[in-house]
Amino acid sequence: MRHAMQHDLDTLLRTIAADVQPLLGEGGVAEYIPALARVPRAQFGIAVATVGGECVGAGECDTRFSIQSLSKLFALTLALQREGDALWRRVAREPSGTPFNSLVLLERERGIPRNPFVNAGALVVTDVLCSRYLQPGRAVLEFVHRLLGETGVAIDTEVAQSERAHSDRNAAIAHFMRGFDNLHGDVAEVLDAYCAQCAIAMSCRELARAALFLAADGRQPRVGEVLAPLAARRINALMLTCGAYDAAGDFAFRIGLPTKTGVGGGVLAIVPGKLCVCAWAPGLDANGNSIAAAAAIERFAAATGSSIFAAPPGGH
């Protein structure tokens, strides 16, 4: 039974990897981070990790790439572990309808970011981590090590330095929120920690395994409770509504799963109770979301019937 499922998944992932090949030339890369602008576009990987302990991949599923905004999932989880619901006094839970690095809503909303996945929200989350950890730049990395039960994953220091050297926009956001007393630490320290977490390099396989607790009501297989079930469900709700920035509505429409994207080209999706799937391809659309990775996740959700809006078999 176990092997049959693994075989089916294997075939499905390989078919998807072949199907999306024509899309790999499309889109641009994140040129505002020069170290990312050099990543060749003709790459694709996909991996699935199940709550039952299987992990299947296809394409370049073991190639590490810059996780960028996917790190916001792990940072938010850590901040919720430390701060609990008090975090929500400083970060709202609404889609922004603006690009991930936009400043426009912050003035009107007095320095309270719309959600923890736009950069403003993630910078508040990082500010929390800076107040709680002696080495905030390593907090997210070490959390990822604990989730994976191994320490091979590392920060790509070239990418971290490259982003730090071009972080005027994030610096502006951080200073602006500090002006509203919603960022308490030192802006330079917050930016360093934020750029370090974004520059963590992981493969599709590692990401799918690390995020499994989000598919399992907060329990990480072989590790135990990472978050209470309610907190984990809320992260899924935020992924569905805000995980792909101003394309979140379109992602919910096309895929029907909680997803999170990053400008390194990664897209991670959760099938609650079942699995976590991660696809990667560097070519991005105008919203900063990977074109081929999103198409791959869309195909996966359709082929497996795993939209969260589908009625369960025999359930009606």
Cβ neighbourhood burial of 103 (10 Å; 0-12, 13-18, 19+): middle
Parallel, antiparallel, or unpaired: how do β-strands 154-155 and 200-202 relate? antiparallel
Task: Give whichever of 143 and 217 is closer to ligand GLN, judged by the CB atom.
Answer: 143
Strand, coil or helix: 298: helix
Nearest approach, Cβ of 217 to ligand GLN (angstroms)? 26
Instruction: Using the CB atoms, write b or e for 267-284: b if 16+ within 10 Å.
Output: bbbbbbeebbbbbbbbbb
Figure out which of the listed residues 29, 263, 293, 301 binds ligand GLN, where binding follows CB under 6 A. Answer: 263
Give residues 270-309 in contact with ligand GLN (rule: CB under 6 A): 288
Distances in Å between the alpha carbon of 299 and those of 18, 48, 160?
Answer: 12, 13, 33
Nearest approach, Cβ of 99 to ligand GLN (angstroms)? 9
For residues 5 and 266, the answer to whether their CB atoms sit within 8 Å is: no
Provide the token pair at 180.
Answer: 């509203």
Task: Give whichever of 68 and 236 is closer to ligand GLN, judged by the CB atom.
Answer: 68
218 scored as a contact of ligand GLN (CB under 6 A): no
Task: Give whichever of 167 and 220 is closer to ligand GLN, judged by the CB atom.
Answer: 167
Binding mask 63-92 for ligand GLN (x = CB under 6 A): -----xx-----------------------
Binding mask 87-126 for ligand GLN (x = CB under 6 A): -------------xx-----------------x-------
Nearest approach, Cβ of 268 to ligand GLN (angstroms)? 12
Distances in Å between the alpha carbon of 80 and those of 76, 87, 91, 195, 228?
Answer: 6, 7, 12, 20, 10
Nearest approach, Cβ of 137 to ligand GLN (angstroms)? 14
Figure out which of the listed residues 48, 79, 153, 198 binds ligand GLN, where binding follows CB under 6 A. Answer: 198
Instruction: Report CA Rg, the chain.
Output: 18
Give residues 134-173 in contact with ligand GLN (rule: CB under 6 A): 163, 170
DSSP conformation class of 177? H
Nearest approach, Cβ of 119 to ligand GLN (angstroms)? 5
Alpha carbon distance 310, 197 (integer Å): 35
Figure out which of the listed residues 95, 218, 262, 265 binds ligand GLN, where binding follows CB under 6 A. Answer: 262
Of 259, 263, 256, whose CA–CA distance to 244 is shortest? Answer: 259
Q: What is the end-to-end Cα distance of the chain in Å, rounded?
A: 26
Task: Give whichever of 36 and 56 is closer to ligand GLN, judged by the CB atom.
Answer: 36
Task: Give whichever of 119 and 220 is closer to ligand GLN, judged by the CB atom.
Answer: 119
Task: Give whichever of 98 and 101 is closer to ligand GLN, judged by the CB atom.
Answer: 101
Binding region for ligand GLN (CB under 6 A): 68-69, 100-101, 119, 163, 170, 198, 262-263, 288
